[in-house]
């Protein structure tokens, strides 16, 4: 029970840092061997995770708005719901994304973090008509993943 309290507090620390645009604190919430996945970035490991959040915060230039709730932890399994509102940098289109997150923990830190959301809904908002028409296709989904992975790798090289 006490462990659940500490893990719940960790989730709150993570999302509070997210709301404040504090990527360093977000990154510090993850175990060194952590894994992350979502429909856009796909699987990430270790330092890639913190770099992803820091890159997204930098790209948003303070315009990313985060709200979170429904934080719950039971027996080492955590979950939360969060909403993100921003303008997609590549198109300038407004996006309002609803995300359900699942967590596991190790050594007092986030060990696995999986974000789930409707990729077709997201691509329709972020990419406009092309996203609406083709956002459900494996071709566009894979193309998006490759593009964001390449951008993340470039960002990591520029921020060692």
CATH number at residue 122: 3.10.450.50
Statement: the pTM of the whole predicted model exceeds 0.75: yes
Model confidence band, residue 1 (pLDDT cutoffs 50, 70, 90):
low
For residue 29, pLDDT over 90 is answered with yes
What is the tally of structural domains in the chain? Answer: 1
What average pLDDT does the chain have? 94
Residue 25: what pLDDT?
98
Q: Token pair for residue 123?
A: 């691509």
Cα–Cα distance for residue pair 104/7, rounded to 1 Å: 9
Domain that holds residue 56: 2-158
């Amino acid at each position: 029970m006490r462990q659940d309290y500490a893990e719940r507090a960790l989730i709150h620390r993570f999302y509070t840092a997210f709301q404040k645009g504090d990527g360093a604190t977000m990154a510090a919430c993850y175990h060194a061997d952590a894994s992350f996945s979502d429909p856009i970035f796909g699987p990430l490991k270790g330092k890639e995770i913190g770099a992803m959040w820091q890159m997204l915060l930098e790209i948003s230039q303070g315009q990313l708005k985060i709200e979170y709730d429904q934080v719950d932890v039971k027996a080492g399994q955590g979950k939360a719901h969060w909403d993100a509102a921003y303008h997609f940098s590549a198109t300038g289109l407004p996006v309002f994304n609803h995300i359900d997150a699942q967590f596991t923990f190790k050594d007092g830190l986030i060990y696995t973090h999986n974000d789930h959301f409707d990729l077709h809904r997201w691509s329709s908002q972020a990419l406009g008509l092309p996203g609406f028409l083709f956002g459900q296709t494996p071709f566009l989904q894979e193309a998006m993943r490759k593009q964001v992975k390449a951008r993340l790798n470039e960002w990591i090289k520029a921020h060692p």
